[in-house]
C-alpha cells in the first residue's frame, strides 16, 4: 500500500516547476540571508542533542527523518485550490472535525478498489486521493473521485468505521453533513458520495470481518475493518493538529483584540474620581515619569526620546504577550500518523504559531501607524505614543516571521529536499515577505528618517506593500483561501484602506488652495493659506515645488481666524460654560504625550514644525483678508529650503497686497480643537497655576491656548497665575508671534500672561521649575526640542515624586 506520506511526496515531486532568471537569483541570495537567520536556531537544537546509543535517535536524525513528512503534510496538503473558508480555523473554518470520521477515511486503504478510470496525482488535494489507489505502493495513479464516490464497498467500510468509532462523539446529522461536504475531499465542485452515510450503513447485510492490511494482493470487493493502530495514529494526527491550529487562531485574536482594547480601557479609567494625592503619585511614579533617570545619546543618532514608564509598561505587555503566546498551548499526541516523534510535532507547531502571530501583528502595526488611527479618537493617548508602539510591534512581527522561515528552512535543509522545495512559488514568495520585512527595520532607523525623510517615507510605503504582497502570495500559492490565514491580511488591508479613505476625504475637503510664503528672516518662514479653517495640525502638499507630488509635511496651525474679527477656534469661556462640549472635546482626538495613564489628558497632537513670523509693524492695521490658517516654519533643508526660494518679504503685508502664492493642498484637521483649553478649565481647581516651557518654534503648539489665556475671567476660571518661559533664537520670531496675536484679537502684548523670553541664553529649567512648582498645584505645558522636553519631564517628575502637585502636558516636537 502506498502510504499517505509517499503519496504526498509523489505529489510534491510532480508539482515542482523550474524557475529561472530572477527567481533563481532571488532564491539564492535570499536563501543565504535566511540561512544566517537559522544559525542560532540550529545551534540551540544541536546543544540540546541528547545522548543515545543509536545515531538515529539524535535530534539531527529525527529532523532528517521527519522533515518530509511534516512539510509535505502541512504544506503540500494545501497546495491546490480547495473550497474557500471564511474566518479562522475553529472560528468558522473546519479542518477535520469530526475527527473520528476523518480518521476512518484516512485509515482505510483504497489499493484494491476496482476502478478503471485512474487519474494522475498531479496537483490534487491529498484528501481527494488519499482513499483509493488501484495500483500498489509506488504507483502514481489513483481512482478518480467519481469512482470513489460510487464504490459501494469503500463507502460501506468508511461508514461502518464511523458507526463503531463515533457513536459517543458525534451526532448523526453532523456525520451526514461531513459525509456530504468532506468525505471525498475539499476540492471545488467535487461530487458527493452516491450513498449517504445512513444509506451506506443500511446497505450492509453483515458486519465486516476482514481487515485489509498493507500489501494485500486481493482486490477489495467487500467492506473491510479498519486497522485499529492505523486509526489511532490518524485520529491523533487530525485531532491534535486541528486543536493546535485553533489555538494559533485564538491566540492571534487575543493578541490583536487586547492590544487594541487595553488603550481604550485605560483611557476609560480617566472618568473615575481619583484623590489628588493618589493621581499625583501615580503620574510621578508609574505613568508620566521617564523610564530612565538620565538622557540617552546614541552614536550617529544623538539624543533619543526615552519612553515614559507608562509607555514602557504597555510595550512590555505587547512583548510579553507575544513571547507567552508563542510558547504556550502545545501538546504532543503520539502515536501520530503525521509526526514520528513529539520533538518533530512540537517543532512544527512552534513554527506555525510564529507565522500566525506574525500575521496577527500586521493589522496592529498598521493601525498604530495611521494618521486616522481610530484609537486616537477613543483614547487620550498621543500619536507619538502609537508610533512608538508601531515600531515595537513591527520588530516583533519581523522576528516571528524570521523564526517561522528559519525553522522551516532548517527542516528542509536537514531533510535534503531544500533544492526541490525552494522552486515552489509559495516558498519564493515567503522568502520575499520575510526578506522585505527584515529590510524594513534597518531602513527605518532614526538617522535615515532625519537625514532623508522623503526617501524614507516612499521606500517605507513601497517595501511595506511588497511585504504584504509577498505574504499574500505565500498563503495563496500554498493554501489557496482554505484555512483563513489570508483573513489576517484582509484585516490589515482594511485598516490601511480605512486610513487612506479618511485621508482622501480630509485631503479633498479643501480643494486646491494657494499658499503665500513670507520670509521673516534667514531662519523662519510664515505660511498663510486663505480660505481654510483648521486646528491642531495639518499636512500640506506643495505639488509644484518638487516632482515628488505625493510628498506632504505636518505643520502646527498657529492661527485660524479672520483678521479683525477675533478668535475663531473657540473661546475659553465657552469651554468652561458648556461642560458637555468640553467633555466631548476631552474624549475625542486627545494626543498629549504624557505617555500612558488612566487620567484625563487634553492636548492636541500637534507636530510643532518650525513656526516663524516677522518684524512687520505691530502698529499698522492688519490687512483685511479671508479666513485662513497661519503656519510657522523654520528654514532648514529639503522642503523648507524650497519654500524659502519662492517666499516674498513679510513687508508686503504692510502694503496691503496679497501675493499669488503657490498651489497647495491641505489635509486636515488632525487633533481636536479646544483640548488644551479644556485641560486648563477642568484642572483649574486642582492646578490653579499654569506654566509654559517653550523652546523655539514649539510656541505654535500652545499658541491658540496662549491667545485665549491673555484675557480670562477669574470669576469663572479661578487661575492664580499664567506664566510663559520661552527660549528662542531670534527676536524676529517673537515679533512674528506677537504680530499674529494682534491680528487675531486686535490687542497688543501678552495680556495677563507673565512672559519671560530668553534670546541669548538657554532656559534654566531646573531653576524655573524649582520656583514655579513651589506654588500649590501647577499645570506644566512643555514643547521644544528633544533634549529640552526630556529635561523638563525629568525635573517635573522628580518634583512630583517629592510631593509637588503638578500635571505635565508634553507636546512632542518631533516623531
User: What are the DSSP calls for 99-138, one per residue?
Assistant: HHHHHHHHHS--TT---S-EEE-TT--HHHHSS--SS-TT
Q: Which three cell numbers stand for residue 524?
A: 523662519
Computed over every residue of the chain, the mean pLDDT equals: 78
Cβ 627 vs Cβ 743: under 8 Å:
no
For residue 140, name the pLDDT band (cuts at 50, 70, 90): very low
The closest of 721, 732, 558 to 629, measured between CA atoms, is 558
The closest of 223, 220, 195, 197 to 208, measured between CA atoms, is 223
Residue 33 has pLDDT above 70, yes or no: no
Q: Which three cell numbers stand for residue 479?
A: 493554501
Does the bond joining 713 to the residue before it have cis omega, within 30 degrees of 0? no
Using one digit for the tens of pLDDT, what is the confidence trace for 61-79?
333 333 333 333 333 333 5
| DSSP secondary structure letter of residue 653 | G
Nearest-angstrom CA–CA distance, 235 and 178: 16
For residue 483, name the pLDDT band (cuts at 50, 70, 90): very high
Using one digit for the tens of pLDDT, what is the confidence trace for 532-548?
988 888 999 999 998 88
Residue 426 has pLDDT above 70, yes or no: yes
- The values of phi and psi at residue 451, to 5°, are -85, -25
Q: What is the model's pLDDT at position 741?
A: 83
- The values of phi and psi at residue 712, to 5°, are -140, 150
Q: What is the model's pLDDT at position 672?
A: 63
Mean pLDDT of 215-220: 46
Residue 117 CB coordination number (10 Å):
10
For residue 293, name the pLDDT band (cuts at 50, 70, 90): confident
Q: What is the model's pLDDT at position 612?
A: 37
Q: What is the model's pLDDT at position 303?
A: 64
Residue 427: CA count within 13 A, CB half-sphere: 30
Q: What is the model's pLDDT at position 813?
A: 62
What is the model's pTM?
Answer: 0.80
Report how far apart, in Å, the C-alpha atoms of 489 and of each of 143, 247, 463, 474, 561 are.
37, 19, 16, 11, 44
Q: What is the model's pLDDT at position 692?
A: 96
Secondary structure element (H or E) that encloses residue 808, with its range: strand 806-811
Nearest-angstrom CA–CA distance, 604 and 606: 6
Q: Which residue has the higher pLDDT, 170 or 365?
A: 365
Domains of the chain are 95-226 (no CATH), 234-267+279-507 (no CATH), 509-811 (3.40.50.80)
Question: What is the percentage of the chain residues whose pLDDT exceeds 70?
Answer: 74
Q: What is the model's pLDDT at position 220?
A: 64
**E strands of 283-401, at which residues?**
296-298, 302-304
Q: Which residue has the higher pLDDT, 429 or 598?
A: 429
Using one digit for the tens of pLDDT, what is the confidence trace for 83-121?
899 999 999 999 999 999 999 999 987 666 766 554 443
Q: What is the DSSP string of 450-494?
A: HH-HHHHHHHHHHHHHHHHHHHHHHHHHHHTTSSSHHHHHHHHHH
Q: In which residue are the cell numbers 509598561 written?
A: 313
Q: What is the DSSP string of 688-708?
A: -EEEEEEEGGGHHHHHHHHHH
Q: How many residues does the chain have?
A: 815
Mean pLDDT of 578-598: 39
For residue 141, name the pLDDT band (cuts at 50, 70, 90): low
Most confident range (mean pLDDT) of 180-184, 278-282, 683-687 is 180-184
Burial (CB count <10 Å: 0-12, 13-18, 19+), residue 543: middle
Nearest-angstrom CA–CA distance, 346 and 341: 9
Nearest-angstrom CA–CA distance, 467 and 464: 5
Q: What is the model's pLDDT at position 116?
A: 55
Using one digit for the tens of pLDDT, what is the confidence trace for 629-663?
999 988 887 888 899 999 988 877 777 677 889 99
Using one digit for the tens of pLDDT, what is the confidence trace for 744-801?
666 777 888 999 999 878 899 999 999 999 888 999 999 988 888 889 999 999 999 8
Q: What is the model's pLDDT at position 638?
A: 80
Using one digit for the tens of pLDDT, what is the confidence trace for 674-684?
567 778 888 88
Cβ 263 vs Cβ 375: under 8 Å:
yes
Using one digit for the tens of pLDDT, what is the confidence trace for 218-231?
446 788 889 899 99
The closest of 334, 103, 132 to 226, measured between CA atoms, is 103
Mention every residue, 6+ apart, whose C-beta is less than 8 A from residue 45: 59, 60, 63, 410
Q: What is the model's pLDDT at position 453?
A: 85
- Angle subtended at Cα 200 by Cα 199 and Cα 206, rounded to the nearest 5 degrees: 115
Q: What is the model's pLDDT at position 675?
A: 66
Cβ 88 vs Cβ 253: under 8 Å:
yes
Does the bond joining 669 to the residue before it have cis omega, within 30 degrees of 0? yes
For residue 27, name the pLDDT band (cuts at 50, 70, 90): very low
Using one digit for the tens of pLDDT, what is the confidence trace for 330-343?
999 999 999 999 99
Of 185-199, 440-454, 801-815, which gets the smallest average pLDDT? 801-815
Q: Which three cell numbers stand for residue 109?
A: 486503504
Q: What is the model's pLDDT at position 176?
A: 94
Dmax (CA) for the chain in angstroms is: 111
Three-class HEC string of 523-581: CEEEEEEECCCCCEEEEEECCCCCCCCCCCEEEECCEEECCCCCCCCCCHHHHHHCHHH
Q: What is the model's pLDDT at position 233?
A: 96
Q: Which residue has the higher pLDDT, 573 or 204?
A: 204
For residue 55, name the pLDDT band (cuts at 50, 70, 90): very low
Residue 593 has pLDDT above 70, yes or no: no
- Angle subtended at Cα 582 by Cα 580 and Cα 588, rounded to the nearest 5 degrees: 105
- The values of phi and psi at residue 63, to 5°, are -60, -45
Residue 708 has pLDDT above 80, yes or no: yes
Amino acid at each position: 500500500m502506498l502510504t499517505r506520506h509517499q503519496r504526498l511526496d509523489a505529489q510534491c515531486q510532480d508539482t515542482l516547476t523550474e524557475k529561472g532568471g530572477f527567481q533563481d537569483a532571488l532564491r539564492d541570495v535570499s536563501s543565504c540571508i535566511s540561512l544566517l537567520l537559522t544559525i542560532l536556531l540550529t545551534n540551540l537544537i544541536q546543544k540540546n542533542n541528547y545522548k543515545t546509543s543509536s545515531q538515529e535517535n539524535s535530534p539531527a536524525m529525527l529532523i532528517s527523518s521527519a522533515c518530509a513528512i511534516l512539510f509535505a503534510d502541512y504544506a503540500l496538503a494545501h497546495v491546490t485550490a480547495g473550497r474557500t473558508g471564511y474566518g479562522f480555523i475553529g472560528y468558522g473554518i473546519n479542518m477535520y472535525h469530526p475527527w473520528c470520521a476523518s480518521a476512518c477515511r484516512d485509515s482505510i486503504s483504497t489499493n484494491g478498489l476496482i476502478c478503471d478510470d485512474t487519474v494522475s496525482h498531479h496537483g490534487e488535494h491529498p484528501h481527494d486521493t488519499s482513499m483509493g489507489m488501484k495500483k500498489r505502493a509506488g504507483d502514481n495513479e489513483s481512482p478518480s473521485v467519481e469512482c470513489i464516490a460510487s464504490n459501494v464497498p469503500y463507502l460501506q467500510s468508511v461508514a461502518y468505521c464511523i458507526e463503531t468509532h463515533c457513536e459517543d462523539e458525534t451526532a448523526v446529522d453532523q456525520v451526514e453533513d461531513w459525509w456530504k461536504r468532506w468525505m471525498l475531499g475539499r476540492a471545488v465542485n467535487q461530487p458527493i458520495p452516491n450513498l449517504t452515510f445512513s444509506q451506506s450503513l443500511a446497505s450492509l447485510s453483515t458486519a465486516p470481518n476482514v481487515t485489509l492490511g498493507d500489501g494485500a494482493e486481493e482486490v477489495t470487493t467487500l467492506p473491510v475493518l479498519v486497522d485499529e493502530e492505523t486509526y489511532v495514529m490518524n485520529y491523533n494526527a487530525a485531532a491534535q493538529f486541528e486543536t493546535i491550529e485553533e489555538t494559533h487562531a485564538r491566540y492571534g485574536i487575543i493578541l490583536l483584540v487586547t492590544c487594541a482594547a487595553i488603550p481604550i480601557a485605560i483611557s476609560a479609567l480617566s472618568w473615575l474620581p481619583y484623590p489628588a494625592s493618589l493621581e499625583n503619585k501615580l503620574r510621578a511614579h508609574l505613568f508620566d515619569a521617564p523610564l530612565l533617570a538620565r538622557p540617552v545619546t546614541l552614536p550617529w543618532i544623538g539624543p533619543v526620546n526615552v519612553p515614559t514608564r507608562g509607555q514602557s509598561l504597555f510595550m512590555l505587555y505587547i512583548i510579553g504577550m507575544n513571547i507567552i503566546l508563542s510558547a504556550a498551548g502545545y501538546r504532543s499526541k503520539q502515536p501520530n500518523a503525521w509526526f514520528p516523534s513529539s520533538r518533530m510535532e512540537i517543532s512544527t507547531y512552534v513554527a506555525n504559531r510564529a507565522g500566525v502571530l506574525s500575521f496577527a501583528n500586521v493589522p496592529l502595526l498598521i493601525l498604530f501607524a495611521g494618521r486616522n488611527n481610530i484609537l486616537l479618537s477613543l483614547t487620550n493617548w498621543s500619536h507619538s505614543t502609537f508610533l512608538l508602539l508601531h515600531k515595537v510591534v513591527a520588530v516583533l512581527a519581523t522576528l516571528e516571521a524570521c523564526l517561522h522561515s528559519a525553522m522551516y528552512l532548517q527542516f528542509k535543509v536537514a531533510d535534503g529536499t531544500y533544492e526541490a522545495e525552494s522552486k515552489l512559488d509559495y516558498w519564493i514568495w515567503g522568502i520575499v515577505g520575510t526578506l522585505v520585512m527584515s529590510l524594513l527595520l534597518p531602513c527605518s532607523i532614526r538617522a535615515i528618517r532625519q537625514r532623508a525623510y522623503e526617501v524614507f517615507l516612499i521606500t517605507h510605503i513601497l517595501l511595506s506593500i511588497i511585504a504584504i504582497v509577498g505574504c499574500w502570495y505565500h498563503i495563496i500559492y500554498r493554501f489557496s483561501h482554505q484555512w483563513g490565514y489570508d483573513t489576517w491580511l484582509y484585516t490589515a488591508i482594511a485598516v490601511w484602506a480605512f486610513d487612506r479613505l479618511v485621508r482622501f476625504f480630509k485631503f479633498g475637503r479643501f480643494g486646491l488652495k494657494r499658499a503665500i510664503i513670507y520670509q521673516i528672516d534667514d531662519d523662519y518662514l510664515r505660511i498663510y493659506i486663505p480660505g481654510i479653517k483648521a486646528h491642531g495640525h495639518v499636512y500640506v502638499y506643495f505639488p509644484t515645488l518638487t516632482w515628488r507630488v505625493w510628498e506632504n509635511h505636518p505643520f502646527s496651525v498657529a492661527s485660524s481666524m479672520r483678521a479683525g474679527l477675533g478668535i475663531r477656534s473657540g473661546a475659553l469661556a465657552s469651554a468652561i460654560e458648556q461642560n458637555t462640549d468640553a467633555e466631548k472635546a476631552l474624549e475625542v482626538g486627545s494626543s498629549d504625550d504624557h505617555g500612558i495613564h488612566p487620567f484625563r489628558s487634553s492636548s492636541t497632537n500637534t507636530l510643532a514644525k518650525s513656526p516663524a513670523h516677522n518684524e512687520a509693524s505691530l502698529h499698522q492695521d492688519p490687512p483685511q483678508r479671508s479666513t485662513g490658517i497661519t503656519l510657522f516654519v523654520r528654514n532648514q533643508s529639503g522642503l523648507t529650503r524650497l519654500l524659502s526660494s519662492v517666499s516674498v518679504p513679510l513687508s508686503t503685508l504692510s502694503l496691503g497686497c496679497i501675493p499669488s502664492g503657490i498651489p497647495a493642498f491641505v489635509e486636515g484637521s488632525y487633533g481636536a480643537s479646544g483640548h488644551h483649553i479644556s485641560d486648563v478649565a477642568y484642572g483649574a481647581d486642582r492646578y490653579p497655576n499654569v506654566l509654559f516651557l517653550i523652546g523655539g518654534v514649539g510656541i505654535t503648539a500652545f499658541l491658540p491656548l496662549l491667545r485665549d489665556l491673555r484675557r480670562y475671567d477669574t470669576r469663572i476660571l479661578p487661575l492664580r497665575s499664567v506664566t510663559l518661559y520661552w527660549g528662542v533664537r531670534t527676536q524676529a520670531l517673537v515679533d512674528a508671534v506677537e504680530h499674529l496675536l494682534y491680528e487675531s484679537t486686535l490687542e497688543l502684548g501678552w495680556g495677563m500672561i507673565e512672559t519671560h523670553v530668553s534670546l541669548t541664553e538657554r532656559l534654566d529649567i531646573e531653576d524655573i521649575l524649582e520656583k514655579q512648582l513651589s506654588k500649590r498645584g501647577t499645570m506644566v505645558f512643555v514643547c521644544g526640542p528633544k533634549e529640552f522636553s526630556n529635561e523638563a519631564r525629568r525635573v517635573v517628575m522628580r518634583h512630583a515624586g517629592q510631593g509637588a502637585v503638578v500635571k505635565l502636558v508634553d507636546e512632542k516636537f518631533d516623531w
